[in-house]
Amino acid sequence: MPDRDDDFYAIPGPTYLQQADVFDDVPLFDLPTLNQLVLLRELDTLARVDELRPGSFAVVDENDAYKPFYQGAREYVVMSAARGAALLITQTCNIDHADELLVSPLLALEGTRIDRGNLFAGKYASLFGLRAHPDGLYDESYIDLRILKAVHKEQLDIEDRVASLQPVRQFAFMGQIATAIARDWGNAAGEEVEEDGKYRCLRCNRWHDIGENPVIELRKGQLFPRCERCAALNGKSAQWQLLFRYQNY
Ligand SMILES: [Zn+2]
């Protein structure tokens, strides 16, 4: 019996869409796997389709079509899709301004070789675990942050949202995105300083309640010191990062 972790989801969620919301019935498009595309053309004339509407069309290999993509014209191409549950990846502040949003499909945990404990402890660099939906809409699941799909914002209706994450889980999710796609990096204690400069420990910069995070000055050839604050946090090692003078980037 999977855990029912009551602090995992916020249901109902906020009145707006936010990163890590889960939706049902999201169209999940599979890109064509053939090198040549399959086009929709007008049934009788095989002319380019200007505007898609329900109806009958010819389905044509682009190599056999008359002047495909002529002078940059857009064509309607055929691809497959399934509808399923997916988690919204696009960052909350960007959702209102984007026409296309990124999602990642929910994948069932059962039947995989993924270790459940490691999954929910965030130990898999590219995976993020989701508890079973409290109303049984899906079993324990995960997303693989290497599987990202685009949907148009019109296809992601707040009415189809089935779960939002609690803020602390969103925070964990952000960390997982960073780990999967943009792992932050810093020098560990004992490594050699390659550049004179001011440094601060990146790892403990995130917490407000573990004391000051002072800037230290190091010179090329010195060894990076321990970070006492990180060492106190379950013996974590430091992540010393070179600091720059602020500019309006
Ligand atoms: Zn630190």
Distance 239 CA to ligand 1 centre (A): 6
Nearest to 240 by CA among 208, 209, 194: 194
DSSP 36: S
The contacts of residue 196 (CB under 8 Å, 6+ apart) are 218, 219, 220
Give how far Cα 130 sits from Cα of 9, 18, 108, Å.
9, 16, 10
Distance 191 CA to ligand 1 centre (A): 15
- Boundary-marking domain end, from 166, 181, 196: 181
**Is 1 inside a domain boundary?**
no
Same domain? 60 vs 19: no
CATH number at residue 116: 2.30.30.110
- The domain tally of the chain equals 3
Residue ranges making up the domain that contains 188:
184-249
**Is 2 inside a domain boundary?**
no
Same domain? 48 vs 90: no
Q: pLDDT 10s digit of each residue in the chain, 249 long?
A: 444 456 899 988 889 999 999 999 999 999 999 999 999 999 999 999 999 999 999 999 999 999 999 999 999 999 999 999 999 999 888 998 999 999 999 999 999 999 999 999 999 989 999 999 999 999 999 999 999 999 999 999 899 999 999 999 999 999 899 888 877 789 999 999 999 999 999 888 877 888 888 899 999 999 999 998 888 887 788 999 999 998 876
Distance 229 CA to ligand 1 centre (A): 5
**Is 4 inside a domain boundary?**
no
Same domain? 139 vs 240: no
DSSP 49: P
Distance 238 CA to ligand 1 centre (A): 5
Distance 179 CA to ligand 1 centre (A): 18
Same domain? 152 vs 198: no
Sign of CA dihedral 103, 109, 115, 120: positive
Which is it for strands 57-61 and 100-105: parallel, antiparallel or unpaired? unpaired
d(CA 242, CA 152): 40
Nearest to 38 by CA among 82, 76, 81, 73: 76
153 near 170, Cβ under 8 Å? no
Same domain? 21 vs 129: yes
